[in-house]
């Protein structure tokens, strides 16, 4: 599917596909107990919680992005070329990238479930990723400089092109975190 996209959008789609592969590898040999194990006596998220958080966050980002893209389509705002994220969004994308130097408190709406089956956590993550790729592909002909309302910071608006890159960077951040959980002292079966 990503082969038909312009190079800048193909890059984003490939980043999302790479996150899918990483997530599958992450949980390939985990049972529910191991996937839900939390380091630091429960003060850090488990592997399953990282995947659930990513699915929730992606879905929350996609809703306002989809609305903005629908407005752009109605107005006939067609693609003129690649769209840079902008200064603030670029900084935010860099902040998301691993290794994580700065931690944030997750908004209540995207705090993961306390425990869930590993298969369900992976399925939720993969479904959100697929939705992001579908939205990207379905709107590749549009000008992705159209802005959407950030669902977490009132009044903050990012370009939709940046929104897709934020999702990909956020994936890398929490997949990195989940791999660290697997290598933490005390991880069952390690």
Give the DSSP H/E element, type plus range, for residue 136. Answer: helix 118-138
- State residue 39's pLDDT score: 92
Q: With CA atoms as reference, report the closest residue to 95 among 126, 87, 13.
A: 87
pTM: 0.95
Distance CA 166, CA 20 (A): 16
Distance CA 20, CA 27 (A): 11
147 SS3 class: strand
- State residue 40's pLDDT score: 84
How do residues 47-63 score in pLDDT, each as one tens digit? 999 999 999 999 999 99
- State residue 147's pLDDT score: 97
147 pairs with which residues across the strands?
A: 159
Blockwise average pLDDT, block size 10, the chain, 190 residues = 86 98 98 95 91 98 98 95 95 94 90 96 98 98 96 94 98 98 91
- State residue 190's pLDDT score: 67
- State residue 41's pLDDT score: 77
Instruction: Answer for the pair 61, 133: CB distance below 8 angstroms, yes or no.
Output: no
Domain 2-182 has CATH 3.40.50.720: no
């Amino acid at each position: 599917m990503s082969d038909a996209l312009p190079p800048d959008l193909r890059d984003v789609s490939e980043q999302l596909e790479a996150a899918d592969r990483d997530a599958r590898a992450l949980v390939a040999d985990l049972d529910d107990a191991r996937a839900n194990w939390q380091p630091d006596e429960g003060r850090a998220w488990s592997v399953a919680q990282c995947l659930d958080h990513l699915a929730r966050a992606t879905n929350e980002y996609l809703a306002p992005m989809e609305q903005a893209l629908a407005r752009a389509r109605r107005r006939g705002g067609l693609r003129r070329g690649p769209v840079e994220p902008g200064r603030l969004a670029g900084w935010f994308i860099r902040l998301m990238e691993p290794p994580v130097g700065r931690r944030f408190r997750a908004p209540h709406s995207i705090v993961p479930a306390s425990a869930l089956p590993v298969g369900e956590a992976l399925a939720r993550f993969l479904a959100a990723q697929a939705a992001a790729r579908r939205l990207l592909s379905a709107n590749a002909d549009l000008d992705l400089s159209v802005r959407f309302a950030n669902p977490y910071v009132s009044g903050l608006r990012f370009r939709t092109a940046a929104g897709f890159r934020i999702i990909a960077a956020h994936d890398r951040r929490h997949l990195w975190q989940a791999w660290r959980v697997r290598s933490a002292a005390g991880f069952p079966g390690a």
